[in-house]
Amino acid sequence: MLSLAILSLIGPLAVSGAYTPQGRSTGLSSRDGQTCTIQSSGSNSTDDSPAFRDAAKQCANGGTLLFQEGVDYYFNTPVNATLNNVDIQFKGNIHLPQNVTYVQGIVNGSTGGNVWWINLTGDNLNFTGTNNLSTGWVYGYGQQWWDANPKNGSGIASRPHLWRFNVTNSHIKNIKIRKPIAWVTTLNGRNIDVDNVFVDAATTPGGGFPFNTDGFDVAAKNVRINDFTIFNGDDAVTINNGGENVTVTNGFIGGPGCHGTSIGSLGQAQGVYNTVKNIWFENIKVHGCVYGSRIKTYLGGQGIVQNVTFANYDVSNTTFPIYLTQNYFNQGSSQTQNGAGVQEGGNFGGRVDNSSVIIEGVTYKNWRGDINTYQPGDGSCVTDPCWYDVPGSDGTQAIVIGCSNSTACSNFEFQNIQVIPQSYAETKINCTNLDQASNPNLGIVCTNGTLVST
């Protein structure tokens, strides 16, 4: 094995390929390597992505990649980088291009039509932003994308994701994103610590709806996301297939348009078995969102959701604080749906209704706050009935649970749910198939009516 002294003596080019840490953390820190300062051209008419790629190649193993304090970097093209034992010191700003058709062209030209503008892979890869509010931002210029969305559209075509961290043993800290185009952070890999996040995907008053501006899409294992503020138009944090041992704590989620903390959607591809387990949400404030917590699985999907806790939620002006559906569909899309916006009524649009994702061991505890009674929902409806319509709901339902049969949902527990309608009417519940036999410690009565604790 190379000693650290030799590593820093021989140049980065010689090192590349000669030293490739495998799997486990090596204990190397970026301080052991050189610092590569990313150069900026200073104008958006020049693409700074090549400068990033060069620096990332130079410092790919054991180096520090420096975005200089207060400097603007124009990433006119997407970047990929594989970085091991590297600290990205993010003290400048990244700007995505402001030309919508140009970005769409890049997305259309990509294989599969899915682009992550910044795609980072590696082991022991840290991304360290700054607490200085005047710099360290990623600017997506999403507003014009939201405004360009036509009436009854659910987001224009060919939108890129902002970034993916497919990493192991890594720390992401102090990140700030303003007006992302759509999906913000995708996490893959394992052993990832995320701390101090600000996502501002709130539309300007009267502006278009910020469709699909998910804060975090997590398909990683052993993840901690702590201390975040997210204003957006979709899930703030959602755990997707493959998510395991994920702890999400101390968050503020605001709207209007936000969809809270979620599991799924799962089971959309009917042949693919999905797994999500050991998920813990705690100390979450939800303000003006459609949902506080949501579990969403498709009819006819397969898989298992196991051991999920939603604890200490403070909700205000939230339409459906606690929500679960095993009959999920994606509005405005005709593929793999249950029918053209028909949530109930037997139109399954070609999906075979022969299975569901099993959900077991879900605990909701210590919830307080109020339900949005007077102006429920958000501006994201493009179908009639609306995709989030719950037949019979009247702004007094703290809990809406729709399980597909008497065994599909088991070992659910509700403890100390003190969520009331803004009208001070009785708190209601809409509940389907949370059977007593499958849920011996349910803590409430599964009924369509007044919420009663047991």
Instruction: Tell me if 258 contacts ligand NAG by CB under 6 A.
Output: no
- 234 assigned to active site: yes
Out of 89, 135, 229, 432, the only residue in the binding site for ligand NAG (CB under 6 A) is 432
Catalytic residue among 217, 234, 235, 378: 234
Instruction: Tell me if 221 contacts ligand NAG by CB under 6 A.
Output: yes
Out of 136, 140, 251, 256, the only residue in the binding site for ligand NAG (CB under 6 A) is 256
Instruction: Tell me if 206 contacts ligand NAG by CB under 6 A.
Output: no
Please report how close the Cβ of residue 170 comes to ligand NAG at its closest, in angstroms: 7
Out of 8, 26, 29, 37, the only residue in the binding site for ligand NAG (CB under 6 A) is 29
Instruction: Tell me if 59 contacts ligand NAG by CB under 6 A.
Output: no
Out of 121, 226, 283, 312, the only residue in the binding site for ligand NAG (CB under 6 A) is 121
Instruction: Tell me if 124 contacts ligand NAG by CB under 6 A.
Output: yes
**Total of chain residues touching ligand NAG, rule CB under 6 A:** 57
Residue nearest to ligand NAG (CB): 392
Please report which residue ranges of 98-137 form alpha helices under DSSP H: 100-109
Which 3-state string (H, E, C) describes the chain? CCCHHHHHHCCHHHHCCCCCCCCCCCCCCHHHCCEEECCCCCCCCCCCHHHHHHHHHHCCECCEEEECCCCEEECCCCEEEECECEEEEECCEEECCCCHHHHHHHHHHCHHHCCEEEEEEEECEEEECCCCCCCCEEECCCHHHHHCCCCCCCCCCCCCEEEEEEEEEEEEEEEEEECCCCCCEEEEEEEEEEEEEEEECCCCCCCCCCCCCCCEEEEEEEEEEEEEEEECCCCCEEECCCCEEEEEEEEEEECCCCCCEEEEEECCCCCCEEEEEEEEEEEEEEECCCEEEEEEEECCCEEEEEEEEEEEEEEEEECEEEEEEEEECCCCCCCCCCCCCCCCCCCCCCCCCCCCCEEEEEEEEEEEEEECCCCCCCCCCCCCCCCCCCCCCCCCEEEEEECCCCCCEEEEEEEEEEEEECCCCCCEEEEECCCCCCCCCCCECCCEEECCEC
Instruction: Tell me if 375 contacts ligand NAG by CB under 6 A.
Output: yes
Instruction: Tell me if 348 contacts ligand NAG by CB under 6 A.
Output: no
Please report how close the Cβ of residue 438 comes to ligand NAG at its closest, in angstroms: 9
Instruction: Tell me if 446 contacts ligand NAG by CB under 6 A.
Output: yes
- What residue has token string 């809990």? 399
Instruction: Tell me if 102 contacts ligand NAG by CB under 6 A.
Output: yes
Out of 149, 154, 166, 396, the only residue in the binding site for ligand NAG (CB under 6 A) is 166
Catalytic residue among 48, 214, 217, 259: 259
Please report how close the Cβ of residue 67 comes to ligand NAG at its closest, in angstroms: 15
HSE at residue 146, side-chain half, CA atoms within 13 A, is 27
Out of 245, 283, 331, 411, the only residue in the binding site for ligand NAG (CB under 6 A) is 245
- 394 assigned to active site: no
Instruction: Tell me if 44 contacts ligand NAG by CB under 6 A.
Output: yes
Out of 48, 123, 217, 378, the only residue in the binding site for ligand NAG (CB under 6 A) is 378
Residue 334 vs 339, nearer CB to ligand NAG = 339
Please report how close the Cβ of residue 166 comes to ligand NAG at its closest, in angstroms: 4
Instruction: Tell me if 390 contacts ligand NAG by CB under 6 A.
Output: yes
| Nearest alpha-carbon partner for 10 in 69, 79, 62, 85 | 62
Q: Which of the residues are catalytic?
A: 234, 259
Interface ranges with ligand NAG (CB under 6 A): 29-30, 44, 78-80, 82, 85-87, 97-99, 101-102, 105, 111, 116, 119, 121, 124, 126, 166, 171, 188-189, 221-222, 244-245, 256, 278, 280, 288, 307, 317, 355-356, 358, 372, 375, 378, 390-392, 404-408, 430-432, 446-449
